[in-house]
């Protein structure tokens, strides 16, 4: 199996680049599995028909998986994320400022902040 370079996946998890990287890894894995199944099938003795039949079935399954992975990768790479309109960007920024006001409001308790999933010691101005 090929060795992959060390990549910090924490920042790539949901980014478009990270998703592309994971899809390409899935394609490479499917390609490797199909090649391995082919090698196993070709290595079996012809007299051992029962084993050969099972290996042929496995090889065909791996080829279908590979075709599916190739199709999915091609489909996903043709899709482009939609860019936000200026109005949508403005709304998102206003939600962010509203959250900042809620976070720093005197009525917001530490419990409210801990329920938000953001560490308590992290103020919005630190981000």
**Containing H/E element for 77?**
helix 49-78
In this prediction, residue 1 carries a pLDDT of 41
Please tell me which residue, 109 or 15, carries the higher pLDDT value.
Answer: 109
The predicted-structure confidence for 89-108, as pLDDT tens digits, reads as follows: 888 888 777 777 877 888 88
Tell me 5's DSSP state.
P
What predicted TM-score, i.e. pTM, was given to this entire model? Answer: 0.51
- Torsion from C-alpha of 7, 23, 89, 10, nearest 10 degrees: -30
**pLDDT confidence of residue 14:** 65
What integer pLDDT is reported at residue 28 of this predicted model?
95
Domain ranges of the chain: 16-78, 86-126
pLDDT of 118 reads 59
Quick one: DSSP state of residue 124?
Answer: G
Whole-angstrom distance, CA of residue 82 vs CA of residue 23: 20
| pLDDT tens, residue by residue, 50-86 | 999 999 999 999 999 999 999 999 998 888 677 778 8
Please choose, from the candidates 35, 42, 95, 93, the residue with its C-alpha nearest in 3D space to the C-alpha of residue 66.
35
Interval 5-55: pLDDT, tens:
444 545 545 677 788 888 899 999 999 999 999 999 999 998 898 999 999
- The answer to whether 65 touches 34, Cβ cutoff 8 Å, is yes
Coil, strand, or helix at residue 1?
A: coil
């Amino acid at each position: 199996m090929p060795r992959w370079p060390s990549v910090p996946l924490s920042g790539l998890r949901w980014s478009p680049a990270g998703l592309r990287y994971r899809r390409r890894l899935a394609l490479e894995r499917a390609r490797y599995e199909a090649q391995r199944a082919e090698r196993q099938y070709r290595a079996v003795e012809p007299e051992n028909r029962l084993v050969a039949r099972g290996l042929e079935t496995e090889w065909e399954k791996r080829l279908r998986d590979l075709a599916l992975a190739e199709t999915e990768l091609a489909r996903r790479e043709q899709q482009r994320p939609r860019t936000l309109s200026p109005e949508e960007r403005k709304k998102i920024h206003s939600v962010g400022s509203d959250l900042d006001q809620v976070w720093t409001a005197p009525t917001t308790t530490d419990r409210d902040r801990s329920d938000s999933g953001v560490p308590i010691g992290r103020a919005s101005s630190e981000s």
